Amino acid sequence: MTAAASLVPFRWPAAWKDPSALALLKGTPINCLAGSAPPPFPIGDLPFVKLDAGTPPEGVTLCDGVWPRVLPAKDDESAVAGVTGGAWVDSNAGAIRLAQTKEPAKQAWLTYSPPAKEIVPFEEYVRPVAEAGAYGARWVITLDEAFARAVGSRNDRALGVWRQMMGVLTLFESRQEWRAWQPVAGLAVVSSFQGELDLVADEFVKLAPRRHLAHRIVLASDFARASFEKQKAIIYLDAAPPAADIRNALVRFAEDGGTVLAPRGLLAGQASGLSAPVEIRHEHAIRPLGRGRLITPQDKWEDPFSLVRQVQQLLSVREDAVQVWNGGDMNSHYLSSPDGRRAIVHLIPYASGNTQPVTIGVRERYRAARVTTPASTTPVKITPGGLGFEIPIGEFSCFAAVELDV
């Protein structure tokens, strides 16, 4: 573990004028202060980490991030509508995973603050901690003035939320192994995240969790070293023609039974004997290629919202690694241990209050399941279902972690 990986940062609130507030950090996982400047009094053994995007701390990649929540759609502003045309979800899932893909040796820290000029309910502070933990990152915990004053004055409600936050933080810090687990996904998203399709690729990985479209991210520069034996499909989100070895690998993947989604003309001249499309569906042409298929758009990929939906429909929801019922306002993140003996499905709802009763479906057969929420850890029964096996989660708020054992 690097020194950065062991740091759990907290931004000292300006409202905490007295060093006695340091007692609030005792017994919590927080072990460093971070920000533009340390508080104006001795902070004991706590290290201080200066946050500067130009010169980030060694071993850390800084992400601006957004306050995670649901923003209601506005009737007169269609741009607010998300993939489903409903409320927009502000999530950090894609930004975290992309940062981790680009700099895998570094710890991702989210540096956003609560929304200014808004009243943020105290209970909303649990979600940012849970979201960052679920995706293997850390939020530089930052309290607005109202919450900081309430916690500092030992307000019962505020202290209750603070303890919940620290409880969630403790859970993730006690499960460090989750950070090394890999996504369970039938789809690989391959891109350089540069050039003409940069915005489409970037938004694709940010929007896919909203539809529970499980995926792994592979940089185009890492393609030759990557293995895709656990994937059924690859979407190549680059406008520039790939190198010959990448084109050949994509062709082999399809010929061996996989699905390749790529811009028009990308594989021209490399896949001998390409036939005419056998089907036009969801604005894409489908061609057989060996035992698999090549799918290309009829027009240029320009709208990431539509593309995420189309890809999921083209691949069929029956091929999803995980399905979530009553999960329209939440993200899911399905990970497996290196030996395949354990797995976890993180569920992060972005709306306030309790969810509806949630059930998830997975393909793998697991022997046991436990659901951990901020309130409790409960064994639950796994039953056969439409996708393979279904696991009842029930109602919860802020997050749930579904631990699975083979």
Q: Which of 72, 347, 332, 99 lies closest to 208 in space, CA to CA?
A: 332
pLDDT tens per residue across span 249-285: 999 999 999 999 999 777 655 444 567 889 999 999 9
pTM value surpassing 0.75: yes
What does the alpha-carbon distance between residue 95 and residue 69 come to, in Å, rounded to a whole number?
Answer: 15
What does the alpha-carbon distance between residue 239 and residue 300 come to, in Å, rounded to a whole number?
Answer: 9
Question: Once rounded to an integer, what is the mean pLDDT over residues 336-351?
Answer: 95
Per-residue buried b or exposed e for 99-132, using 16+ beta carbons within 10 Å of the residue's own CB: bbbeeeebbbbbbbebeeeeebebbbbbbbbbbb
pLDDT tens per residue across span 7-52: 999 999 999 999 999 999 999 999 999 999 999 898 988 999 999 8
| CA geometry: angle 53, 59, 62, nearest 5 deg | 30
Q: For residue 164, which phi and psi values (nearest 5 degrees)?
A: -60, -45
pLDDT of residue 271: 47
What does the alpha-carbon distance between residue 399 and residue 160 come to, in Å, rounded to a whole number?
Answer: 17
Q: For residue 156, which phi and psi values (nearest 5 degrees)?
A: -60, -45
Task: Specify the amino acid at residue 352.
Answer: S
Measured between alpha carbons, how far is residue 270 from residues 243, 274, 280, 331, 337 in Å? 11, 9, 22, 38, 37
Q: Is 169 helix (H, G, I), strand (E, B) or coil?
A: helix
Residue 175 scores a pLDDT above 50: yes
pLDDT tens per residue across span 58-110: 999 999 999 999 986 554 444 333 333 345 789 999 999 999 999 999 999 99
Question: Once rounded to an integer, what is the mean pLDDT over residues 176-200?
Answer: 93
pLDDT tens per residue across span 294-343: 999 999 999 999 999 999 999 987 678 899 999 888 999 999 999 999 99
Task: Give one DSSP letter per residue of 349-365, joined into a string.
Answer: E-SSSPPPPEEEEESS-
What does the alpha-carbon distance between residue 364 and residue 186 come to, in Å, rounded to a whole number?
Answer: 13
pLDDT of residue 1: 46
Contact, 333 vs 104, CB < 8 A?
no
The domain spans of the chain are 4-179, 185-319, 322-405
pLDDT tens per residue across span 160-173: 999 999 999 999 99
Question: Once rounded to an integer, what is the mean pLDDT over residues 109-123?
Answer: 94
Query: Quick one: angle between helices 145-152 and 156-173, nearest 10?
Result: 100
pLDDT of residue 88: 78
Number of alpha carbons in the 13 Å side-chain half-sphere of residue 40? 5
pLDDT of residue 395: 93
Positive or negative torsion for Cα 357, 360, 366, 369: negative
Residue 219 scores a pLDDT above 80: yes
Domain 322-405 has CATH 2.40.30.10: no
pLDDT of residue 244: 86
pLDDT of residue 274: 66
List Cβ neighbours of 164 (8 Å cut-off, separation of 6 or more).
126, 374, 398
pLDDT-derived band at 174, boundaries 50, 70, 90: very high
Residues above pLDDT 70, as percent of the chain: 93
Question: Once rounded to an integer, what is the mean pLDDT over residues 378-406?
Answer: 92
Q: Rg of the chain's alpha carbons, rounded to an integer?
A: 22
What does the alpha-carbon distance between residue 218 and residue 233 come to, in Å, rounded to a whole number?
Answer: 13
What does the alpha-carbon distance between residue 20 and residue 48 come to, in Å, rounded to a whole number?
Answer: 17
pLDDT of residue 84: 37
CATH number of 185-319: 3.40.50.880
Mean pLDDT of the chain: 90
